[in-house]
Structure 1
Amino acid sequence: MASRSSNTLVVPQASQALDQLKYEVAQELGIQIPQDGYYGNMATRDTGAIGGHITRRLVQIAEQAMAGNQR
């Protein structure tokens, strides 16, 4: 099934890393991601929790990178 997302990655190679991050976060939260890639049967609360934690983690990574460049 093709993705219908209108989001485009600035660095296309980041897709695999973001996908891996999604599975890591879901595992940490105890949420099972469907193997077929269809999220329609998942609760909105679960998908939102995954997205929120991914965003927090990406902001944290960026802050650490910026702090490292300040030194």
Structure 2
Amino acid sequence: MSSSRNRILVPEAKEALNQFKMEAAHEVGTPLTNGYNGDLTSRQNGSVGGQMVKKMVQDYENRLK
């Protein structure tokens, strides 16, 4: 029994999340494409996720000011 916990809670936000991911990949120099990215290393994929979190934290901190 396999269930994915990586589901989008607001389906209307899917395109915006994909755009955000592509921007983060571009910023860290990871050649992410729309489609299969299984040829990328864990380090490359992790750097994209890390960049996304970094930008979200910066945005939150800016909103607190």
Q: Secondary structure at the match of 2:11?
A: coil
Quick one: which amino acid aligns to residue 39 of structure 1? Answer: N
Deviation by residue 1:26-59 (Cα, 9 ceiling, x = unmatched): 1111211134x12211111000000011011112
Partner of 1:26: 25
Unmatched 5+ residue regions in structure 1?
none
Partner SS, residue 13 of structure 1: helix
> Structure 2-normalised TM-score?
0.74
User: Root-mean-square deviation (CA), in Å?
Assistant: 2.1
The verdict on how the C-alpha distance between 1:58 and 1:29 changes in structure 2, with shifts beyond 3 A counting, is same
State the aligned residue count: 63
Residue equivalent to 1:41? 39
Identify the residue that residue 52 of structure 1 maps to in structure 2: 50
User: Structure 2: 5+ residue runs without aligned partners?
Assistant: none
The residue number in structure 1 matching 2:8 is 9
